[in-house]
């Protein structure tokens, strides 16, 4: 198995993905918490391009970018439960939806949280529409990966757990409801009820506190900020 | 091999990637040119989420998003020259750099082409810096994929061929020079000299003309546009 380290940040859904995948595979690892306001020499040395968590160190070799890390974990420990399906066409679908969550849904959902006024209304509508597409995709399935959690489910951890908490904080509860997104809501319930998931997500209240800070910081650093 | 169709647009580097990969693998396909101002029912039916080219149809099953398509091609026709390396760690590096080109370099380079004034200066500097990182990565190697063209090289076709043409059009020749990016320039020369590449890129003058239109359209639709 070799020496496996994860440099992460407790509140980050991106770090959460990597830890979830390693736990799914039964790979033991050392977790190293990063202070994002004072990044460690280890992080800066091994992820000089993006300087971001999560970073996987396997036998001192670095792998960066959470979606790249998930595929690396699947290929390096093929004996555990699969993260991607075996069939090339099913794999391409998993990759497509993982990128849809990453590139489309998450930025819209996050911006809907911290933006204000008209812009918030616009991004909220955008998030609702994007999640409707995801709602159709999950219809009739337990997980995006079929009967078991796979690449898309792990990638969408923000939608299943993080967003529910941050949405409550900022009063955006109506973005995902049983009326607007019935299938996605069923998936969220199914996902968060997995004992495997429960053991691998940050404590709700602590995360809510952290999000309040994050949202204020994002709103302040926005070019549209009034302050 | 089955029935293989590519829905593409002649001037698009994203379509170019897919055609290049199929030709590398020796896969015969039917090319269908899309009119992007009046998209075909076939495209809208099979890529309802993004409604974009390129789209691969393999035995009537759709695969969208060029980087997803490249991995699908590699896994579906493993007998041809490899697009990704075999080793999981080398694969993770190829995926990391392909995403770096896609998510970082290309948006900055394209924005440097169509933006104006101070914003253009800023994005030009950003593009120069990002390409400097790529310059270090290619140092001492013939291709990003080693001795042969691979995932990163195919993904970076815009940098090798398209950008040189558009940069001339808008007078941005100084973004990549032998002084600022010696290794990247060597790679560009090597890449464009491959007979395989020469046969698979659009005609220079026609592309320059198309870019002039594209740049005007991008500048006009920008929120910072004065018009």
pLDDT, one tens digit for every residue, chain B (227 residues): 789 999 999 999 999 999 999 999 999 999 999 999 999 999 999 999 999 999 999 999 999 999 999 999 999 999 989 999 999 999 999 999 999 999 999 999 999 998 989 999 999 999 999 999 999 999 999 999 899 999 999 999 999 999 999 888 888 888 899 999 999 999 999 999 998 899 889 999 999 999 888 888 887 877 555 44
Q: Given an 8 Å threshold on Cβ–Cβ distance, is A96 in contact with B68?
A: yes
What is the number of alpha carbons within 13 Å of residue A11 lying toward its C-beta? Answer: 16
Phi, psi of A161 (to 5 degrees): -120, -55
User: Any bridge partners for residue B63, and if so which?
Assistant: B56
Mutate to test the interface with B, among A58, A88, A99 (most CBs of B within 10 A): A88
Residue B212 CA from chain centroid, whole number:
18
* Among candidates B71, B89, B91 on the partner chain, residue whose Cβ is nearest the Cβ of A95: B71
By CB atoms closer than 10 A (0-12, 13-18, 19+), residue B179 is exposed
Residues of B in contact with A96 (CB under 8 A): 63-65, 68
- Flag whether residue B95 sits within 8 Å of chain A, measured between CB atoms: yes
A72/B64 touch (CB, cutoff 8 Å), yes or no:
no
CA distance B132 to chain A (A): 11
Distance between A204 CA and the closest CA of chain B, angstroms: 32
Q: Give the domain A88-221 fold.
A: Glutathione S-transferase Yfyf (Class Pi); Chain A, domain 2 (1.20.1050)
DSSP letters of B139-198? Answer: TT-SBTTBSS--HHHHHTHIIIIIHHHHHHHHT-GGGS-TTT-HHHHHHHHHHHH-HHHH
Domain residue spans of chain A: 4-76, 88-221
- The torsion angle over the Cα atoms of residues B192, B197, B199 and B205, rounded to 10 degrees, is -40
Q: Give B 99-158 residues with CB within 8 A of chain A.
A: 99-100, 133
Q: Does A92 touch chain B (CB under 8 A)?
A: yes
Suggest the residue from A67, A96, A224 to mutate for an interface test with chain B (most B CBs closer than 10 A): A96
Residue A167's pLDDT is 87
ipTM of the complex: 0.94
List of residues 6+ apart from A205 with CB closer than 8 A = none
Instruction: At A193, list the tokens.
Output: 């009820």
CATH number for the domain formed by residue range(s) B4-76? 3.40.30.10
Spans of chain A below 70 pLDDT = 223-227
Cβ contacts of B76 on chain A, cutoff 8 Å: 88-89
Of the residues B14, B46, B49, the best mutation for testing chain A's interface (the one with the most A CB atoms within 10 Å of its CB) is B49
> pLDDT of B106-163, one tens digit each?
999 999 998 989 999 999 999 999 999 999 999 999 999 899 999 999 999 999 999 9
Q: How many CB atoms lie within 10 A of CB A159?
A: 24
Question: Among candidates B108, B114, B100, B84, which has minimal Cα distance to B21?
Answer: B84
Closest residue, chain A, to B91 (C-alpha) = A72
So what's the pLDDT on residue A222? 72
Helix axes A88-99, B66-76, angle to 10 degrees: 160
Chain A environment of B58 (Cβ under 8 Å): 89
d(Cα A116, Cα B90) in Å, to the nearest integer? 44
Size of interface A-B (CB pairs under 8 A): 56
């Amino acid at each position: 198995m070799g020496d496996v380290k994860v440099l992460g940040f407790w509140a980050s859904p991106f770090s959460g993905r990597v830890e979830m995948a390693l736990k799914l595979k039964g790979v033991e690892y050392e977790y190293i918490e990063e202070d994002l306001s004072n990044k460690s020499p280890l992080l800066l040395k091994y992820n000089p391009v993006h300087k971001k968590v999560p970073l996987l160190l396997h036998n001192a070799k670095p792998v960066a970018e959470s979606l790249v890390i998930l595929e690396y974990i699947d290929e390096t420990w093929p004996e555990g439960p699969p993260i991607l399906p075996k069939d090339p066409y099913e794999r391409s679908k998993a990759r497509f939806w993982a990128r849809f969550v990453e590139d489309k849904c998450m930025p819209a959902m996050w911006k809907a949280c911290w933006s204000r006024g008209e812009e918030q209304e616009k991004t909220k509508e955008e998030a609702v529409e994007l999640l409707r597409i995801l709602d159709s995709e999950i219809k009739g399935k337990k997980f995006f990966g079929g009967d078991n959690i796979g690449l898309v489910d792990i990638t969408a951890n923000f939608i299943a757990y993080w967003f529910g908490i941050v949405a409550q904080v900022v009063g955006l509860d109506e973005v995902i409801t049983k009326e607007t997104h019935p299938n996605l809501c069923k998936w969220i319930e199914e996902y968060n009820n997995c004992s495997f998931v429960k053991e691998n997500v940050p404590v709700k209240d602590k995360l809510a506190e952290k999000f309040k800070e994050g949202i204020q910081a994002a709103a302040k650093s926005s070019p549209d900020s009034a302050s």
